[in-house]
């Protein structure tokens, strides 16, 4: 029986094989987070509309589209949520274990204008904050990502006032 199945498998090849594998295995969503820094070392943080009260502050996040490079996902999500242009950096986290979901995080660097233009459907406010002055209600996992990726000469001080244009 195994030989028959193996012959059949070799005979069908290509897209049909991929479709069978796709149907037979779990399909994952990939959540992508961006740790965006400006030239001063400040981190872009967002107050998300749909996140739970008391934990609504976090980094730019979103889901990868099918076939999309994760660095490209960071660029797209930051642009959609804030209108800012960024350049993706290194992969800093790859975590699985969630049910049908994988989490990745990339560093990213601001290129161009630093004034966010928030998409008020998803984001209520955007700020540039030194890593030691994150707003109350910041996601713990995101605080840890910021701390883990902080440069040796990180800036200190206060967050910029909300300079957002909606």
Task: Output the CA torsion sign for 77, 135, 106, 49.
Answer: negative
| Residue 26 falls in which region: left (phi positive, over 0), alpha (psi -120 to 50) or beta | beta
Per-residue pLDDT tens over the stretch 99-151: 778 899 999 999 999 999 998 889 999 999 999 999 999 999 999 999 999 88
Answer whether 0.85 is exceeded by the pTM: no
Q: Which of these CATH numbers, 3.90.1150.10, 3.90.79.10, 2.40.50.140, 1.10.357.10, describes 28-148? A: 3.90.79.10
Task: Output the CA torsion sign for 92, 140, 164, 69.
Answer: positive
* Average pLDDT over all residues of the chain: 88
Q: What is the mean pLDDT of residues 37-44?
A: 95
Per DSSP (E only), the strands in the chain are 29-37, 43-48, 57-58, 61-63, 86-98, 101-110, 123-129
Residue 163 has pLDDT above 70, yes or no: no
Confidence class for position 162, pLDDT limits 50, 70, 90: low
Residue 156 has pLDDT above 70, yes or no: no
Among 46-50, 94-98, 159-163, which stretch is predicted with the lowest mean pLDDT?
Answer: 159-163
Domain extent listing, the chain = 28-148
């Amino acid at each position: 029986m195994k030989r028959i199945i193996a012959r059949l498998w070799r005979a069908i090849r290509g897209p049909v094989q991929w479709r069978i594998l796709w149907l037979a295995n779990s399909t994952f969503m990939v959540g992508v987070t961006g740790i965006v820094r400006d030239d001063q070392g400040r981190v872009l943080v967002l107050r998300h509309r749909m996140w739970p009260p008391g934990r609504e502050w976090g980094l730019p996040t979103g889901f990868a589209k099918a076939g999309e490079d994760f660095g490209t996902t960071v660029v797209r999500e930051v642009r959609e949520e804030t209108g800012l242009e960024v350049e993706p950096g290194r992969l800093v986290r790859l975590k699985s274990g969630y049910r049908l979901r994988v989490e990745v995080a990339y560093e990213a660097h601001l290129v161009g204008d630093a004034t966010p233009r928030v998409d008020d459907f998803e984001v209520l406010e955007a700020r540039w904050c030194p890593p030691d002055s994150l707003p109350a209600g910041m996601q713990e996992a995101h605080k840890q990502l910021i701390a883990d990726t902080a440069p040796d000469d990180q800036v200190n001080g206060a967050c910029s006032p909300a300079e957002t244009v909606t």
